[in-house]
Amino acid sequence: MDLAGLALPLLRLLPPETAHDATIRLLAAGLVPSGHMEDDPALASEVWGRQFANPVGLAAGFDKNAEAFRAILRLGFGFTEVGTVTPHPQAGNPKPRLFRLSEDRAVINRMGFNNQGLEAVRSRLETGWNGIVGANIGKNKDSTDAVADYVLGARAFAPLADYLVINVSSPNTPGLRDLQRREPLLALARAVRAERDAVMAANPPPLLLKVAPDLDEQQIEDVAEVALSAPVDGLIISNTTIARPESLRSAHRQEAGGLSGAPLLQPATEMLRWLSRLTGGRLPLIGVGGIASGADAYAKIKAGASLVQLYSALVYHGPGLLTRLKRELAAQLRADGFRTVSEAVGVESNGGR
């Protein structure tokens, strides 16, 4: 058993947020060995003109302050996403605010965008990296001008990040998800895009929108319409859910916050499929929510995801999950006769590209 394998059972004895902070410290100190071997060539793809060695990324919220992204890439993730970052540092909600629902292979969090703010995160990104790192931006809880906050995020990260994400889907900042309605969303996306283009006239990073899995039919159509009317270059589907499926057994199931992990797999994949159909495969989509195996990742890819991300499964399976997942995914692609990931994207939603 390697160091990471040994550490996992110990970390799970700690309260969840303490375990998370310890993991970040271990990664930042370079104490987790790079389990990374060459990726199977079938997993490589080009999205937004950028080369991904494999399609499996680490989702936002794990490395909020960009303290461990180089180590995360060395573990073998095809990409990672720092943030959510807000203009000013903020403490987030009172603890406890992170709960393991072990029986359900799920997590509930109401962190509330705890982060060190744009300046601290930007200075860590300035020293560069080898791989693909996105920056996920949000607004401060007490901000009176949401659009201005996102514009500041775009200004700070457009010159540095490989992609930008407008996060309007966290359930833990009051009023945030109202920005997913058609008019405010269009205004926000246009303003952020204009700022990105002002800062980076040549080769600007793609601008993505991360949406909630709890949108109704009208809202999903609004998101697709806004996305297609050109202000954004892709969608991330999805953030955590405020729903509490009947199936949940853990004593923590009534905690307030966003639910992630296994119970999110199906609803988030259905929403991905829906948005893939509505956008007709014209926009790259990132599928996230409940992925814990190669089969889960493959289901998202066939439903329309060019790339996937995960977070909660790491809590239960540790970083060893990644090597296994990539091996399973490559095997499933081959078994179905696909030479590369790109060939399988959307085959079950819109007949593929």
Q: Binding residue per annotation — 269?
A: no
Confirm if 260 and 101 have CB atoms less than 8 A apart: no
Q: Which residues contact 255 (CB under 8 A, 6 or more apart)?
A: 99, 108, 110
Q: Who contacts 239 (Cβ-Cβ below 8 Å, separation ≥6)?
A: 167, 169, 170, 171, 210, 211, 212, 213, 258
Amino acid present at 191:
A
For ligand FMN, what does the binding mask look like between residues 142 and 171, x meaning CB under 6 A? -------------------------x--x-
Cis peptide before 96 (omega within 30 of 0): yes
Residue owning tokens 């405010």: 184
- Given the rule CB under 6 A, which of 193-201, 219-227, 272-280, 284-292 is the region that contacts ligand FMN? 284-292
What gap in Å lies between CA 165 and CA 154, rounded to an integer? Answer: 9
Q: State which residue, 46 or 178, has the beta carbon closest to ligand FMN.
A: 178
Query: Which candidate, 309, 320, 291, 300, places its Cα nearest to that of 105?
Result: 291
What is the CB-side half-sphere exposure of residue 164 using CA atoms within 13 A? 30
- The reply on whether position 261 binds ligand FMN by CB under 6 A is yes
Instruction: Confirm whether residue 109 is marked as ligand binding.
Output: yes
Determine the interface stretch with ligand FMN among 41-49, 57-65, 144-152, 196-204 (rule: CB under 6 A): 57-65
Q: Which of 80, 86, 136, 332 binds ligand FMN (CB under 6 A)?
A: 136
| 57: contact with ligand FMN by CB under 6 A | no
User: Does 78 carry a binding-site annotation?
Assistant: no
How many residues contact ligand FMN, by CB under 6 A?
27
| Contact present, 353 and 346 (Cβ < 8 Å) | yes
Which one among 53, 64, 163, 279 touches ligand FMN, defined by CB under 6 A? 64
List Cβ<8 Å contacts ≥24 apart for 24-30. Answer: 24/63, 24/67, 24/68, 27/67, 27/68, 27/71, 27/72, 28/67, 28/68, 28/71, 30/71
- Applying CB under 6 A, does 310 fall inside the site for ligand FMN? yes
| 111 makes contact with ligand FMN (CB under 6 A) | yes
- Does 53 engage in binding with ligand FMN (CB under 6 A)? no
Pairing of the two strands 163-167 and 98-101: unpaired
Spot the catalytic one: 170, 260, 276, 342: 170
**Does 287 appear as a known binding residue?**
no
Q: Which of residues 195-224 bind ligand FMN (CB under 6 A)?
A: 210
Q: How far is the CB of 138 from ligand FMN (least distance, A)?
A: 7
Q: Are 19 and 63 in contact (CB under 8 A)?
A: no
Stretch that binds ligand FMN, among 41-49, 182-190, 286-294, 343-351 (CB under 6 A): 286-294
**Closer to ligand FMN at the Cβ: 108 or 226?**
108
DSSP single-letter state for residue 68:
S
Peptide bond into 170 cis (omega under 30): no
Choice from 24, 60, 160, 329 touching ligand FMN (CB under 6 A):
60
**Closest CA relative to residue 84, chosen from 139, 151, 129:** 139
> Per the annotation, does 61 bind a ligand?
yes
180, 239, 279, 306: which one binds ligand FMN (CB under 6 A): 239
Output 157 or 338, the one with its CB closest to ligand FMN.
157
Residues 6+ positions from 13 with CB-CB distance below 8 Å: none
Check residue 65 for interaction with ligand FMN (CB under 6 A): no
61 binds ligand FMN (CB under 6 A): yes
Residue 247 is among the residues annotated as catalytic for this protein: no
64 is known to lie in a ligand binding site: yes
Taking CB under 6 A as the criterion, the residue among 8, 43, 59, 154 binding ligand FMN is 59
Report the Cα 29 to chain-centroid distance in Å.
23
Binding-site positions read 60-64, 84, 109-113, 136, 167, 172, 210, 238-240, 261, 290, 311-312
Residue ranges binding ligand FMN (CB under 6 A): 59-61, 64, 83-84, 98, 107, 109, 111, 136, 167, 170, 210, 239-240, 260-261, 264, 288-291, 310-313
State the catalytic residues.
Answer: 170
